[in-house]
Structure 1
Amino acid sequence: MPHGKEVFHAGNANLGQLHESRWQWLEQVAGPAVALPTEYPDGYRVPQHRHSRSQLLHALVGVVLVTTRYGRWMVPPDHAMWIPAGTEHSVEMLGDVSMRSVYVMPQAIPGLPEGLRVVGVTDLMHSLIVESEKLPQGGVLEGRGGLIMNLLLHEIPTLPERPLGLPFPSDPRLSALCRRFVAAPSPHATIDEWADAAGMSRRSFTRAFQRQTGLSLSTWRQQACLFAALPRLADGEPITRVALDLGYDSVPAFITMFKRMLGTSPRGYMRGARENVEVARRLIGPVRLESSAP
């Protein structure tokens, strides 16, 4: 790669230049796929950008929020975000993040996903991503390296999609209410209260919300509450406290929703987050705010 290891400190004035350098390098490099690791501090935001390669963005540690014109997607540990080539997006770090991204040529193999999606990362894919970052980058790989990258590419279409998107309505009145809810979830507010706040009748509100987001208000709020729960669970907060704070009448109701949305229980999610921290420590040592990418 054209650059050595760069330190990524919060407030470093050169961060934007470092990202520009990486994006320019990605536009020129050969090979069907390139794997790059990056360590980010809590709260860091990668500004809106796009590239000619698709990106499989995987948070080994931490939670990531990806924003596009189509909505917002939460990417917790054990998951990845598939971002098709040419899609403008920004990325916000919710906690210290150990990120692993695989940048893929759109025609690398047949059957790659065409749309934005959050996917579950299988044990096999997790191992392939970790191994791929150790390979020489910037050319066509042969031997063991070629086999690893080829298998990684063919695993991408098989990854299970997870419903972690949070589309925002285009109407500024509805969008403002949604942003307010994400900042401070209040699940006991009724549809009538939302409609009144938007200055709309209940019928007009429900129709507009469904049309602009593709979701009912109830389903949208469930997903927004899940957004709010993930960083807290990753930080080790008790499940009961998180469930009650988010307005659930019982912990079993929260667990049922969590399993349906994520395919695992809150306890399983917390265990996976802790295990990923240990894996990261073994791979990279104590979490450092640095990058080995261009």
Structure 2
Amino acid sequence: MCRMQAKPSPLIDPARADADGGPLLFAALSAGDMRHTPTHSHARGQAIGALSGLLTIGTERERLVVPPGYAIWMPPHHPHGLDAHGPTSGWSVYVAPDACAALPALPQVFQVSGLLREAVLRASAWPLAPAPASAQERIVAVILDELAAAAREQLVLTMPTDRRALKIALALAADPADARSLNEWAEWAAIAPRTLTRRFAEETGLSFTDWRQRARLMRAVELLAAGQAVTAVALELGYDSLSAFIAMFRREMGVAPGGFAAAHAAALALP
């Protein structure tokens, strides 16, 4: 094990992350302003948790949003880049390849349980001199069990691979408020509506309607974390009814947008 290092991104040099260093390696994420980490990959799997601020992670086909209290899992050898949107703090756990067998094969966002948070904090505080092997093994087992049991949240947006469907997806990701119907989008991209419906379902795992709602949800999380008022966010995302936006957000996130924004602000205020 290694002590958590309080320094900005990149968290751990990829060569060091790939080296043999026990089942888990730990690092801290600390950014005082917006920061971009270019696309990279490593042989270890990686869990990145946000304590304050907002992180977004991009891969070849996914975009993931990580608000405070959440984390992402990135499988081994999966290229990804990271953006910190303003002052951000968090943690990262690098998991050795042979310990990743029971962990997800695809990137995912999950809510950090109290047990996982405390286990990571305990392990990251170990002195440089190794703790008794049995104590380390028990904490490592807890962390791996919690990562394996974490439920996937609705903050992952998978892009289609069909060039016409991808053209539509990129336009909607840039402007989730665009209210054009499926038929109008299909005509714009020169694709049959039925083919468009099938491509989104097969290549993203979501219907066109659900994909567009996911894009709106993820933009809402970003805007709320940036301090925008709930009403302003609803209007920017194209909702005619504030109550409809609140109902969507609560259904997907388990909390009203105002409660999410308040929790985010409270996390930023922590020392």
Fold in common (TM above 0.5):
yes
**One-letter code aligned to 2:157:** L
Q: Shift of residue 167 of structure 1?
A: 1.0
1:47 has 2:24 as partner: no
RMSD of the alignment, in Å? 2.8
Contact 2:41 / 2:79 at 8 angstroms: preserved in 1? yes
Report what 1:75 is aligned to.
66
Calculate percent identity across the aligned residue pairs: 31
Distance 1:45 1:23 in 2: 16
Unaligned runs of 5+ in 2: none
The farther-off stretch of 144-153 and 21-30 is 144-153
- How far off its partner does 1:246 sit? 0.9
TM-score scaled by structure 1?
0.80
1:225 aligns to 2:216 (yes or no): yes
Q: What is the match of residue 33 of structure 1?
A: 24
Q: Which residue of 2 aligns with 1:292?
A: none
After the TM superposition, which residues 1-294 of structure 1 pair with which residues of structure 2 at under 5 Å, given as runs? 8=8, 22-40=13-31, 42-108=33-99, 111-136=102-127, 142=133, 147-279=138-270, 281=271
Work out the CA distance in 2 between the residues paired with 1:240 and 1:119: 27
Number of residues of Structure 1 aligned to a counterpart in Structure 2: 270
SS in 2 for 1:135: coil
* In 2, Cα distance between equivalents of 1:151 and 1:145: 10
- For 1:141 and 1:46, the matched residues in 2 are separated by 35
- Summarize deviations over 1:210-260 as a string: whole Å, max 9, x none: 232222221111111112111221133221221122122322222222122
Distance 1:26 1:139, change over 3 A: farther
Partners of 2:6 and 2:102 lie apart in 1 by: 34
| Distance verdict in 2 for CA 1:43–1:180, change over 3 Å | farther
Report the more deviating stretch, 74-83 or 152-161: 152-161
SS in 2 for 1:101: strand
Q: Note if contact 2:45-2:100 (Cα within 8 Å) is conserved in structure 1.
A: no
User: What letter is aligned with 2:192?
Assistant: S
Q: 1:40–1:99: 8 Å Cα contact kept in structure 2?
A: no
Query: Is the Cα contact below 8 Å between 1:34 and 1:137 reproduced in 2?
Result: no
Is the CA contact 1:41–1:93 (under 8 Å) kept in the aligned structure 2?
no
Superposed displacement of residue 132, structure 1: 3.0
Instruction: Give secondary structure in 2 for the equivalent of 1:31.
Output: coil
**1:12 corresponds to:** none
- CA gap of 1:215–1:157, structure 2 versus 1, over 3 A, is same
Distance of aligned partners of 1:176 and 1:42 in 2 relative to their CA distance in 1, 3 Å threshold: farther
- Contact 1:84-1:116 within 8 A present in 2 as well: yes
